[in-house]
Structure 1
């Protein structure tokens, strides 16, 4: 495959499997990352497929833009859009897909994705290369964090390379998963700045509109969001809030709006398709992010690309994302957020703001998916040089995690793969025939 960028060098064509519980029609940063990275890899000549679980009536094989092939496996969701971590129940089906598609690299996404880890472990037992991208930060103290971190450590001990979306995310992953720092690269997310373009004509000049687009969960700081709305609306009569997104904390915003009679000031749009986000963003002057933890935050980049002033809590990797001229960073408390919003409002009223189209050009230069793809290709080329380990060497690696029962799980998975080889040998897998799920 020749390089179209005029360097004269030949690029190796890879066959890649993106694996995660989180993919379209579900919406979120992980889903968008997988889709856009896959599309750019296909444009650069690679073959890419996606493995995820079924969503409602969507199961079997579907084809998306540019011929992206998606396997919606008939596996039921257990909790929070993730499957049950059985490790062995789907081994025959996953093996068949990996061999049938002639996969070389399995790229798992999200620490919370059970399916992504399961496909990666099976891939290592088949002698394939594996990459993992961590999209989030996680704690160390509570019981769920301890269990999740130990599970992540076990699943990543044989991973060829890890990718994090921010430097603070890299530090977090290295600590909680006990991964060697030289095996972790930082490749940020990106945004399609051409799709998220400004349109100042959509703004209401008589009021200042604050837009919030977020999943309404505790981690996104919905409690702070509700408290800020309750304080700011009575103080500033010409302030309006437009909130897009849904989640278990929606009731809190509805309660604040009803109790304080803010129906004219606060608009709740509910769940949005990703294609509808830009239409909402261009109506605003300020974008508010109240996250309590965040590895990167795609939403603030999309808002900046649309020319909005961004007010955000300075948690996790957020301070790394945008320059100071495009964002007001605050502490994660109500008082600090209110100061940040009022400062942004004052700058807007005095005209001390960047041109929306200039903001879009800056974001276009800082973050684009082709740059992310090229950097990911470097990781793929690097891991293809790694030597495969035999079962004994892999078991010794898993032993270092201190979870001895997992050695039995890996051994059982290996035996099941050998049984599958006897029943359905690799040479009998017809890669020219569509798989019937």
Structure 2
């Protein structure tokens, strides 16, 4: 909500604004309906938007009634240098690894700094980091997951128990050699490098800076396209904010001259 409020303020200040959306929301539940109404009311004056996938982009355009030409797709990035396949761990079972870790913690006296999590829920395991570390990824084929990794590095299962069990069984019975592990790491490094993501983001901001800013009348016209009570409230709030800013600027100017 703070981002939506900030969009209104930056327009009044004559600044360019770029909205970033990372999540998929529905269209029929109460919470989504309220949020979508807020997006439609506050984003008519935004200069551009960035989504993390094409599925997220289509969802955002539908929810916020944005022009497709100003909504860009820039994926997330990952520090691949911190997630590199470790072949030495492939030869030990989980119990041997745990004993070595516990001995290391005991030897270095790290009890207050190291915590053994044990089982980690699947929702807490990032897909990109797992693939970069050389792990074969299994995920349900929902949302924009199919756009995240190439088909040879991820197996998509249907969102039901039987399909997940079958996919896990296939992955456990299959053998992946070391070249495949480092190939996963190499491909993730190329697709999700911070240099690439930062460069594409800077290009969007540069285009925004080069565009002329919207005047008060242009902003009011855009807010007027938001129908029903929400459009009237936002239109009035924009006009009131402009009057307050002009009043404050007048006070500051008078004080400076005095």
TM-score for both structures, normalised by structure 1: 0.49
Change (3 A) 1:423 1:337: farther
Q: Kindly provide the CA deviation profile for residues 44-85 of structure 1, in whole angstroms up to 9, marking residues without a partner as x.
A: xxxxxxxxxxxxxxxxxxxxxxxxxxxxxxxxxxxxxxxxxx
Match of 1:165 among 37, 52, 56: 52
Kept in 2, the 8 Å contact 1:289–1:312? The answer is no
Q: Which residue of 1 aligns with 2:195?
A: 370
Kept in 1, the 8 Å contact 2:42–2:234? The answer is no
Greater RCO (Cα-Cα under 8 Å, separation 6 or more): 2
Task: Please identify the structure whose Cα radius of gyration is greater.
Answer: 2
Match runs of 1:421-436 below 5 Å? 421-424=249-252
Q: Which residue of 1 aligns with 2:163?
A: 336
More helix as a share of residues: 2
Q: What SS does the corresponding residue of 1:360 show, helix, strand or coil?
A: helix
Q: Which residue of 2 aligns with 1:24?
A: none
Q: Which residue of 2 aligns with 1:412?
A: 240
Change (3 A) 1:158 1:200: same
Match of 2:131 among 281, 299, 304: 304
Match of 1:398 among 223, 233, 251: 223
Rounded to whole Å, the distance in 2 between the matches of 1:167 and 1:324 is 17
Q: What SS does the corresponding residue of 1:404 show, helix, strand or coil?
A: helix
Kept in 1, the 8 Å contact 2:8–2:42? The answer is yes
Report the CA distance between 1:416 and its aligned residue: 2.3
Report the CA distance between 1:302 and its aligned residue: 0.8
Q: Which residue of 2 aligns with 1:96?
A: none
Report the CA distance between 1:207 and its aligned residue: 5.3
Match runs of 1:217-228 below 5 Å? none
Greater Cα shift, 407-416 or 397-406:
407-416
Over aligned residues, Cα RMSD in angstroms?
Answer: 2.4
Match of 2:69 among 175, 182, 185: 182
Q: Kindly provide the CA deviation profile for residues 325-357 of structure 1, in whole angstroms up to 9, marking residues without a partner as x.
A: 111111112221111111111114xx4675322
Kept in 2, the 8 Å contact 1:290–1:332? The answer is no
Q: Which residue of 1 aligns with 2:23?
A: 136
Match runs of 1:267-346 below 5 Å? 267-268=118-119, 289=122, 299-346=126-173
Q: Which residue of 1 aligns with 2:214?
A: 389
Report the CA distance between 1:168 and its aligned residue: 0.8
More strand as a share of residues: 1
Kept in 2, the 8 Å contact 1:289–1:311? The answer is no
Which runs of 5 or more structure 2 residues have no equivalent in the other structure?
96-116
Q: What SS does the corresponding residue of 1:316 show, helix, strand or coil?
A: coil
TM-score for both structures, normalised by structure 2: 0.81
Change (3 A) 1:202 1:155: farther
